[in-house]
Amino acid sequence: MVARKSAYAEESAEVEVLFANLEKLNTLTKKIQGSTNRLDASGKNVQTALGPIHGSTRNLKMIQTNVDRTLAVISRLQAPMEQRDQEETIIRADPRRVGLKEYIASMQRADQALRGLRSTSLAANQAAMRETQALVKYGARQLEEIFKQTLLATGASDALEPLGYITKEKLFPIIPREEGPQLKMINNFIASSTTRGSQTNLSDMYSTAKLFSDIRGSYVARSVANMAAATLSTARRSKETPSVYKRGDCQISYYKVALHGMLAAEFDNIRMIFNPEEYGKILVSTARPALADFGKTLKDLNLIVQENLMTDSFLAFDVLDTSSKMGQQLGEMAGPEIQRMITELCQPIHATAKSAIPKIVEYTKTQVQRLATLPPEGAAIPVTVETLERLRSLTDFLTPVIGIMNAIGDGNWGNSPNSPTSSSAPSLRSFDSTLVGSIGPGSDGVQIFVHFCGDVIETLVSTLDSRARLLLKNQGVQAVFMLNNLAVIEGMTRGHEILGDMLLKSGTHSLQPRLDLWRSKHIKLYLNYWGSASMPLLDVQYTSRNRRSAAAVGKDSEAIVASMPSKEKEAIKEKFRAFNAAFDQLVANHKTYRMEPQVRVLLAKEVTQLIEPLYIRFWDRYHEVDRKGKYVKYSKEALSGQLASLG
């Protein structure tokens, strides 16, 4: 019992100790809570005190940043002005004295300073910017003046005489190579500063490019002015004795060589000074004054052609040939723009040349119809020669002729609603079709040209035939006249390499079958004319009889004549007499005709083939009717001799 109480007493004591500790802990907790409350109150007081200080510090940092930035801007603003002040002494001086390279370097630095001033929008910098801009402009004018004086000093101030260079086959002069680097240096700076907008007066071309095109363009135009005058002078020919224009009668080719040669030299100059992307534009601008004068010359030439279209239309073809070649050559250098300019200049004379094609057919017919008389001896007439000369002359300008034929179209040279008019203008594409590569034997233009030539010749032959039947009453003269003209046509065609190759070769529009047909027709007409000699030699024979040997011919003739009644003998004598009279007259007439050599040989052969067999047969049968030689004038040998004399 005592032990149990003792145990309870210990536990009770422990509980009391725990309660005592708990009380202490609660007291301590209250103290800590009080300290925490006091600390929180102190923190709030500190925060309240430090808030304004923090805001002030932050504002001070922002002010410091702004001050630093302002100082940097001021420093940058001062740099261009200081740069301008440093460069002004150099820029105001003579570039030749300073040295061009150093002068341009100074200009580049001043230009950079100007761009720096423009990058700010401060009103305080406007005065400095204007001063710097004026300084850069002053320097640019100095450089432009050097550029100009250098161009003038290289010969551009005086006109050149191109003919001397052409006749001596010398290249046209260019700017000396030693001047090239200086001019290029100036141009590069002016071009770059213009691109950046440092200069205010801008046009399609910057100043040095415009100076070059103005100075060199005027130089080229003045140099070729004499060639234009010479071209017009040589194009004007006598109106009293007009002849078909031949290549070289006019100096248009020299004009072309001079103009192309000088522009080619200027293209070399351009390549020496300017950048590749500028070549074409600057050459076009440089060529413009000279091409304007060239266009005026073409207009004057067009008026000359229109006054004598049939003789001078070939001048138009020459101009087109020359101009299209020059346009192609310059186009290869400067691009299509300059070629288009030349095409436009050629439009009036192209229209005139185009109108001449249908008029050639009409003119050929009219020239023959105007003939009041024809040669009584049957000679070929000048109209035939002139017509063939005209066709041969067309082949001298085959390139533009083929192009015009393509433009007209096959068969459209006749008087039809589809005939071309002179108002249609050529395009660059139509001029391209006249280039050398488009005139091959199989091209449409060549075939159209062959058809055209065939139509001209057919018109000539049919009109000559009609006129001969009207004005020449003798069939023999008619036939000789036509055969002579056909011989001239064929001879002049075959004797010309290009025309002969085109017209006489096999093909749809070949002239050879028609020539053969016309020739055959008039050979028959001439043999009909000899009918007065051949008809008496015809008599009735019985083909069923056996042929006799040659050895029995004499006996047969005697036997035949002996078996004939007197009336038939008289008829045979009359036939011999009629033959003799007709033959003698025909031979005499034949020898009076003026024949082309080939016509004389041809007709002699045809007449011999007609008369000789008939006469030999007739003589073999009936020559015994006239033993005294009163009626049988010609032996077989004598007749053969007479026939041989016809050739």
pLDDT tens-place string over residues 333-379: 888 999 999 999 999 999 999 999 999 999 999 999 999 999 999 99
Best mean pLDDT range from 132-141, 393-402, 440-449? 393-402
Closest by alpha carbon to 406, among 390, 387, 385, 430? Answer: 430
- 68 vs 371, residue with greater confidence: 371
Q: For residues 394 and 317, is the Cβ–Cβ distance under 8 A?
A: yes
> Poorest-confidence range of 165-174, 319-328, 553-562, 592-601?
553-562
| pLDDT over 60 (residue 531) | yes
Where b means 16+ CB within 10 Å and e means fewer, 30-64 reads eeeeeeeeeeeeeeeeeeeeeeeeeeeeeeeeeee
- 554 vs 590, residue with greater confidence: 590
| pLDDT over 50 (residue 434) | no
Residue 544 has a CB neighbour count (10 Å cut-off) of 5
pLDDT for the residue 470: 94
How far is residue 174's CA from residue 255's CA, in Å, rounded to a whole number? 19
Report how far Cα 221 is from the mean position of its chain's Cα atoms: 22
Tokens standing for residue 440:
């091959």
pLDDT for the residue 487: 96
pLDDT for the residue 549: 40
Instruction: Tell me the residue type at 50.
Output: L
Q: pLDDT band for 77, please (50, 70, 90 cuts).
A: low
Report how far Cα 67 is from the mean position of its chain's Cα atoms: 72
Instruction: Tell me the residue type at 472.
Output: L
Mean pLDDT of 462-489: 95
Where b means 16+ CB within 10 Å and e means fewer, 360-376 reads bbebbeebbeebeebbe
How far is residue 98's CA from residue 29's CA, in Å, rounded to a whole number? 95
Instruction: Report H helices in 224-278.
Output: 225-235, 252-273
pLDDT for the residue 124: 56
Q: For residues 600 and 554, is the Cβ–Cβ distance under 8 A?
A: no
pLDDT for the residue 238: 66
Mean pLDDT of 50-77: 67
- 571 vs 548, residue with greater confidence: 571
Closest by alpha carbon to 312, among 393, 366, 381, 403? Answer: 393
> Poorest-confidence range of 206-220, 292-306, 505-519?
505-519
Tokens standing for residue 560:
């035949």
E runs forming strands in 409-490: none
> Poorest-confidence range of 385-399, 564-578, 593-607?
564-578
Tokens standing for residue 240:
């009293």
Average pLDDT, the chain: 83
Closest by alpha carbon to 156, among 227, 221, 229, 225? Answer: 221
Mean pLDDT of 144-163: 85
Q: For residues 442 and 450, is the Cβ–Cβ distance under 8 A?
A: no
| pLDDT over 90 (residue 473) | no
Tokens standing for residue 17:
């100790």
Instruction: Tell me the residue type at 424.
Output: S
Tokens standing for residue 434:
């006249």
Please name the residues in contact with 227: beta carbons below 8 A apart, sequence gap of 6 or more: 162, 163, 251, 254, 255, 258, 259
Report the Cα–Cα distance between both ends of the chain, in Å, rounded.
Answer: 193
Tokens standing for residue 452:
């055209």
Residue 525 has a CB neighbour count (10 Å cut-off) of 19
How far is residue 492's CA from residue 299's CA, in Å, rounded to a whole number? 34
Tokens standing for residue 225:
């002015």
| pLDDT over 80 (residue 417) | no
Mean pLDDT of 300-318: 92
Mean pLDDT of 17-36: 84
pLDDT digits (tens, 9 = 90+) for 129-148: 777 777 778 888 888 888 89
How far is residue 212's CA from residue 231's CA, in Å, rounded to a whole number? 28
Q: pLDDT band for 542, please (50, 70, 90 cuts).
A: very low
Tokens standing for residue 569:
């003998």
Mean pLDDT of 618-629: 80
pLDDT for the residue 388: 94
pLDDT for the residue 420: 42
pLDDT for the residue 623: 83
- 61 vs 428, residue with greater confidence: 61
| pLDDT over 50 (residue 553) | no
Angle between helices 309-334 and 336-345 (to 10 degrees): 170
- 542 vs 641, residue with greater confidence: 641
DSSP state of 628: T
Share of the chain above pLDDT 70, in %: 82
How far is residue 128's CA from residue 150's CA, in Å, rounded to a whole number? 33
pLDDT digits (tens, 9 = 90+) for 224-270: 999 999 999 988 876 665 678 888 888 899 999 999 999 999 999 99
Q: At 249, is the secondary structure helix, strand, or coil?
A: coil
Mean pLDDT of 165-179: 91
Instruction: Count H helices and E strands in the chain, helices first.
Output: 25, 0
- 381 vs 68, residue with greater confidence: 381
Mean pLDDT of 197-202: 44
Tokens standing for residue 252:
């248009």
How far is residue 402's CA from residue 257's CA, in Å, rounded to a whole number? 23
| pLDDT over 70 (residue 8) | yes
How far is residue 379's CA from residue 595's CA, in Å, rounded to a whole number? 6
Q: At 421, is the secondary structure helix, strand, or coil?
A: coil
| pLDDT over 70 (residue 171) | yes
How far is residue 564's CA from residue 609's CA, in Å, rounded to a whole number? 29
pLDDT for the residue 4: 65
| pLDDT over 70 (residue 201) | no
pLDDT digits (tens, 9 = 90+) for 178-188: 999 999 988 98
DSSP state of 547: P
Mean pLDDT of 193-208: 60
The CA angle 284-286-292, to the nearest 5 degrees, is 80
Instruction: Report H helices in 418-511.
Output: 428-432, 444-471, 475-494, 497-503
Please name the residues in contact with 308: beta carbons below 8 A apart, sequence gap of 6 or more: 239, 242
Handedness of CA 283, 286, 288, 291 (dihedral sign): negative
Tokens standing for residue 221:
């135009």
> Poorest-confidence range of 16-20, 208-212, 319-323?
16-20
